[in-house]
Amino acid sequence: MTFAISQTNLRLLVDQLIQDGIFVVGPRRSGSMVLYEPLSKGEALTLDALPRRSAKELFFPVCEDILTYERVEGKMAVRDVDRAHYPETVLVGAPPCDAASPAILDSVFSWDYLDDFYLERRKKTTIIGMGCTRGDDACFCSAVGLAPDSVAGSDLFLTPLPGDEYACQVITEKGRSLTADYPGLFHEQSPVDPLPAPKQEMKQLNLERIKNWLDTHFDDPLWEKFADICAGCGACAFVCPACHCFDINDEGSSEKGTRRKHWDACGFGKFTNHASGHNPRDVQNKRYRNRIMHKFKYYNDKFGKTLCTGCGRCVRACPVGIDIAGILAEIDAK
Amino acid sequence: MTTINQNCYDSVTEAIRREAAKLLQEQTVAAVVGYVAGRRPGTASPAVAKSAEDAEKLVFSPACVNNLALFLSKAKKGIVPKGKTAIVAKGCDLRALAGLIGESQLNREDLVVIGVACAGVFSAAGERSLPLSDANIAAKCRECTIHTPEGVDVVAGTLPQLPDFDPVEAKELARLEAMTPQERWAFWKEHFSRCIRCMACRQICPFCYCEQCLCDRNRPQAVESSPRPAGNLAWHIVRAMHLAGRCAGCAECERSCPMDIPLNLLNRRMAQELKEQYQYEAGTTPQEKGPLNQYREDDDQSFIK
Amino acid sequence: MCDNGKNVYLPHLATIDAIVDETPDVRTLRLVFQDEATRESFAFRAGQFAEYSAFGAGESTFCIASAPTRKGYIECCFRSVGRVTEALRRLEVGEAIGVRGPYGNSFPIEEFYGKNLVFVAGGIALPPLRTVIWNCLDLREKFGEITIVYGARSEADLVYKRELAEWAERSDVRLVKCVDPGGNSPAWDGKVGFVPNVLEEAAPSAENTVALVCGPPIMIKFTLPVLERLGFSDDRIYTTLENRMKCGIGKCGRCNVGNVYVCKDGPVFTAAQVKAMPQEF
């Protein structure tokens, strides 16, 4: 027998979670696009398009306060941000390319120093991943070791079945406890074949071979070929589920204000610029090289993981048409 | 649905390849800035062709959305080899070239402009696997008045009979004009709230070549750098003002915005203002200096109280 | 490293206890932590750095320039070149700044016991070595000969002038100071020349010696071949890398040189380690 939930009950689950005080985030129509946004009712859940930005912002927001400061009676006082009140959260409807990313990012946010802003949200969030049936020609999750039906990173995984049903796989204790809390919404049914996953254009990449090439080709004319045309914006990094670079800035006066952590991107010319004017990555192709190196070599060297889930968002978003999947295929063929 | 005959793009491609190969072989130019096809069907990328062999890969299709003038601006210095350069330019791109020449960023003598007879390009959200039509053509192309560019060195291809398109952008502009200031404020506030400060709008703009952008300056911090409402609003206003009288309407900023902010509406509104106030239109001829870039003794001073 | 639930970006508050203007644009701040427990517990090693904040302007990265052997305070030394350093410069004695740290690795001072030390520094890069110099001088009997070669563009650009005088006085330190040609007054009692040349002329023995080098990239570039000629192998030459940083704790992603995170794996490296990195710093 297959453990399953119907489309209707999935939306009902969202409603009941919200009623029980859980913060529920999922893909929702927002103007011309779909974004991961807080849901106010299950009906709003939009499962027919890949959200424009990834789900990483649930744990690592575009911009967040990390402290406030104020001079009171001549004395500077610094106040921490209350993280204990982060709500219990359920992320629902994340495709494998988004569900997989937090588990990848855990490494950087918890090595040695613990980034409690990220980790506290992570601890309090249950991820309901969902098998993907809507890929396009920019998708390449299968090429980087995931798949449209990959359960990596999900606590509970829903596989679309014919007839508005989802097969429901419990992956972790968090997922088990979620199904246990709402037993009436799930049911047993005889096994059926899931809806077919989309066929991906990209063939599987040999990530080890790519890394081997990167290990020995820091200097190579290909970098200019790949990335001379890079315009130097942060669109690729900002829509990416795995890019995690950030900046820290004070906003306010010297008397009172807020220190904020917000997304940054290695493609920006100023990213590594020293106060003296010296810039170790002085031209654009070096910045782009860092992006590829970080994803497919450095992160692997440090944490044994690849910093890419193949969601294809950067491919779609790049204003000059730089195609990371094509670049990887070219390196793989070396 | 009105569909555009695709054959015209093939004839442009052929003409570009022929011209580029000739220019490179005869060493008239050091490079040709053009487009090559992307891996995915219906996509294309800017490319710098430096040999006759490279020239064979150049294409023109509805996927050739980029304004290549970007690659001749100071911001992209070093990408195009020194020497005379040929550039493939659609009518809308040509206006940016004229603007850059007017701002002394380029010399006309150093350029060979391969103007293309352009029937239109895809919109950012348009379906790229289908022929160009009413359904997937970029908003700017619906109101294009320069399908066949003038003042270029070579015109590549010929235009088919083009259908009349409904001017959606002009209509949207009119809708905004008809709003109360409060409604309009709410409209922009909503759009800017989505801005993530990826700076794609700035980086893709041929006129955003400042070595030190105001929004990167922090002594004093003119524009807050974090993606929050105050800084976002400030950035987009600064951007619109700095481009007023210069923006030639290629709408690359809007196309590049991953958050679908309709930036070209702002640009067009500013252009309209310039036309009404100064009877000036940016980028129509290279020699002109915009009214906001010059001082004349008979300038209207009445706003100084 | 830090307890679960703590905000790793939260600085300690420190009061500016003293200000010393080293040059017209280089300033030292002596800082005392406001919280007594932090004053007691704040421990660091020579070579580590911290994130210093001027509230309203943000954070900036400098080494801890005082010696770990001097308790009760820390010092930082900076040139006013940006938003934060200018704001730090506007602060007066008694005002508060934020300090996060100590971060990064340090000089393996215990491994230097029984060895001779050669310090080579240029301009504003003396502070990261000054912490080691005082650390070693405070444990003087543990080391052999100590040679300091320090130069700047001009006399005015030399930092820690009073300490240079103190080192010059000491019989257990060999101080060779220099300024670039044209940077000296008639009264100048040091050498005239560039640091690498002056070092070659001073010719400290490489026998049982480690060299510690900090300076602008151009100085480092010309100093390393000199040390090689003097007989120093790359694993006995130490330096620090000074990349742009924000978080200081291996998260924000900008200080890396190849897969080396300067904030976590550095800032102290041997010349051998630096040469093995991609040349992108």
Does any CB of chain A come closer than 8 Å to the CB of residue C246? yes
How close, in Å, is residue A171 to chain B by CA atoms?
Answer: 33
Residue type at A230 in one-letter notation: C
Q: Across the interface, do A235 and B202 touch by the CB < 8 Å criterion? A: no
Best B57, B210, B225 member to test A by mutation, with max A CBs in 10 Å, is B225
- Enumerate neighbours of B (3 or more CB pairs within 8 A): A, C
Q: Which residues of C touch B221 (CB under 8 A)?
A: 83
User: Could you give the C-alpha distances from C121 to A278, C80, C151, C199, C244, in angstroms and in order?
Assistant: 19, 20, 7, 10, 20
Q: Across the interface, do A113 and C2 touch by the CB < 8 Å criterion? A: yes
Interface of B with A (CB under 8 A): 38-41, 43-48, 66, 70-71, 75, 78-79, 125, 190, 194, 196-200, 202-204, 216, 224-228, 252, 255-256, 258-260
Are residues B60 and B127 both part of a single domain? Answer: yes
Q: Which residues of B touch C86 (CB under 8 A)?
A: 219
Phi, psi of B119 (to 5 degrees): -85, -15
Does any CB of chain B come closer than 8 Å to the CB of residue A52? yes
Q: CB-CB: which of B44, B75, B198 is closest to A321?
A: B44
Nearest-by-CA chain A residue for B72: A229
Report the 10 Å Cβ neighbour count for C229.
11
Q: Across the interface, do C246 and A247 touch by the CB < 8 Å criterion? A: yes
Q: CB-CB: which of A137, A201, A233 is closest to B204?
A: A233
Does any CB of chain B come closer than 8 Å to the CB of residue A232? yes
How close, in Å, is residue A221 to chain B by CA atoms?
Answer: 13
Q: What would be the CATH architecture of the domain defined by C12-103? A: Beta Barrel (2.40)
Nearest-by-CA chain C residue for A279: C281
Best A250, A256, A274 member to test C by mutation, with max C CBs in 10 Å, is A250
pLDDT confidence of residue B290? 73
- Greatest pairwise CA separation for chain B in angstroms: 63
Q: Which of residues 219-238 of A touch C (CB under 8 A)?
A: 219
pLDDT confidence of residue B66? 97
Q: CB-CB: which of A254, A271, A298 is closest to C56?
A: A254
Q: Could you tell me which of C107, C91, C49, C68 has the C-alpha nearest to residue C246? A: C49
- Quick one: CA dihedral A204, A207, A212, A215, positive or negative? positive
pLDDT of residue C271 exceeding 60 = yes
Q: Across the interface, do A108 and C250 touch by the CB < 8 Å criterion? A: yes
With respect to residue B1, please indicate whether it lies within any of the assigned structural domains.
no
Q: Which residues of A touch B38 (CB under 8 A)?
A: 321, 323, 326
Q: What is the mean pLDDT of chain B?
A: 91
How close, in Å, is residue C209 to chain A by CA atoms?
Answer: 31
How close, in Å, is residue A185 to chain B by CA atoms?
Answer: 35
Q: Could you tell me which of B129, B110, B61 has the C-alpha nearest to residue B90? A: B61
Q: How far apart are CA B43 and CA C248, in angstroms?
A: 41
Domain of residue B191 covers 168-293
pLDDT confidence of residue A1? 72
Are residues B93 and B201 both part of a single domain? Answer: no
- What is the gyration radius of the CA atoms in chain C, in angstroms? 18
Best B61, B71, B197, B213 member to test A by mutation, with max A CBs in 10 Å, is B197
Does any CB of chain C come closer than 8 Å to the CB of residue B226? no
Are residues B145 and B177 both part of a single domain? Answer: no
pLDDT of residue C1 exceeding 50 = no
With respect to residue B301, please indicate whether it lies within any of the assigned structural domains.
no
How close, in Å, is residue A317 to chain B by CA atoms?
Answer: 6
C118 token code pair: 């050669």
With respect to residue B299, please indicate whether it lies within any of the assigned structural domains.
no
Residue C263 in marked binding region: yes
Sheet bearing C49-54, strands edge to edge: C58-63, C49-54, C96-103, C12-21, C26-33, C74-79
Residue C76 in marked binding region: no
Does any CB of chain C come closer than 8 Å to the CB of residue B218? yes
- Residue C239's DSSP bridge partners are C213, C269
Tens digits of per-residue pLDDT, B208-267?
999 889 888 888 888 888 999 999 999 999 999 999 989 989 999 999 999 999 999 999
Residue C2 in marked binding region: no
- Quick one: CA dihedral C13, C18, C24, C27, positive or negative? negative
> How much is the average pLDDT of C164-175?
96
Q: How far apart are CA A53 and CA A234, in angstroms?
A: 13
Q: CB-CB: which of C98, C259, C264 is closest to A301?
A: C259
Q: How far apart are CA C193 and CA B76, in angstroms?
A: 40
Q: How far apart are CA B28 and CA C233, in angstroms?
A: 54
> How much is the average pLDDT of C97-108?
97
Residues of chain B with pLDDT under 50: none
Q: Where in chain C is the domain with CATH 2.40.30.10?
A: 12-103
Q: Which of residues 84-113 of C touch A (CB under 8 A)?
A: 85, 87, 95-96, 98
Are residues B278 and B220 both part of a single domain? Answer: yes
Q: Which residues neighbour A34 within 8 Å (Cβ) at sequence distance 6 or greater? A: A27, A28, A46, A49, A50, A51, A52
Find out whether C81 and A275 touch, Cβ atoms under 8 Å. Answer: yes
Q: Which residues of A touch B255 (CB under 8 A)?
A: 319
pLDDT confidence of residue B1? 64
pLDDT confidence of residue B50? 95
- C130 three-class SS: helix
Count of domains forming chain B: 2
Are residues B142 and B179 both part of a single domain? Answer: no
How close, in Å, is residue B73 to chain A by CA atoms?
Answer: 12
User: Which of B156, B180, B206 is where one domain is finished?
Assistant: B156
Tens digits of per-residue pLDDT, B73-84?
988 877 888 899
Find out whether C245 and C263 touch, Cβ atoms under 8 Å. Answer: yes
User: Which of B156, B183, B209 is where one domain is finished?
Assistant: B156
B17 token code pair: 């390849």
Are residues B102 and B208 both part of a single domain? Answer: no
Nearest-by-CA chain A residue for C217: A278
pLDDT confidence of residue B287? 62
- C67 three-class SS: coil
With respect to residue B305, please indicate whether it lies within any of the assigned structural domains.
no
Q: CB-CB: which of A229, A262, A323 is closest to B46?
A: A229
Q: What is the pLDDT along chain A (334 residues), one digit of tens a residue?
A: 789 999 999 999 999 999 999 999 999 999 999 999 999 999 999 999 999 999 999 999 999 999 999 999 999 999 999 999 999 999 999 999 999 999 999 999 999 999 999 999 999 999 999 999 888 999 999 999 999 999 999 999 999 999 899 999 999 999 999 999 999 999 998 888 888 888 877 888 999 999 999 999 999 999 999 999 999 999 999 999 999 999 999 999 999 999 999 999 999 999 999 888 889 999 999 999 999 999 999 999 999 999 999 999 999 999 999 999 999 999 999 8
**Under CATH, what is the fold of the domain C109-240?**
Rossmann fold (3.40.50)
Nearest-by-CA chain A residue for C82: A275
Are residues B104 and B17 both part of a single domain? Answer: yes
Q: Which residues of C touch A272 (CB under 8 A)?
A: 243-244, 254-255
With respect to residue B207, please indicate whether it lies within any of the assigned structural domains.
yes
Are residues B57 and B12 both part of a single domain? Answer: yes
Find out whether C114 and C143 touch, Cβ atoms under 8 Å. Answer: yes
Per-residue 3-state assignment (H helix, E strand, C coil) for B22-48 = HHHHCCCCCEEEEEEECCCCCCEEEEE
pLDDT confidence of residue C2? 45
pLDDT of residue C3 exceeding 60 = no
Are residues B143 and B186 both part of a single domain? Answer: no
Residue C263: band (very low, low, confident or very high) from pLDDT cuts 50, 70, 90: very high
Does any CB of chain B come closer than 8 Å to the CB of residue A315? yes
Find out whether B200 and A233 touch, Cβ atoms under 8 Å. Answer: yes
pLDDT confidence of residue A102? 97
Q: DSSP letter for A205, please.
A: P
Nearest-by-CA chain B residue for C81: B219
B128 token code pair: 């790229």
Q: CB-CB: which of C13, C58, C250 is closest to A248?
A: C58
Are residues B181 and B116 both part of a single domain? Answer: no
Q: Where in chain C is the domain with CATH 3.40.50.80?
A: 109-240
With respect to residue B214, please indicate whether it lies within any of the assigned structural domains.
yes
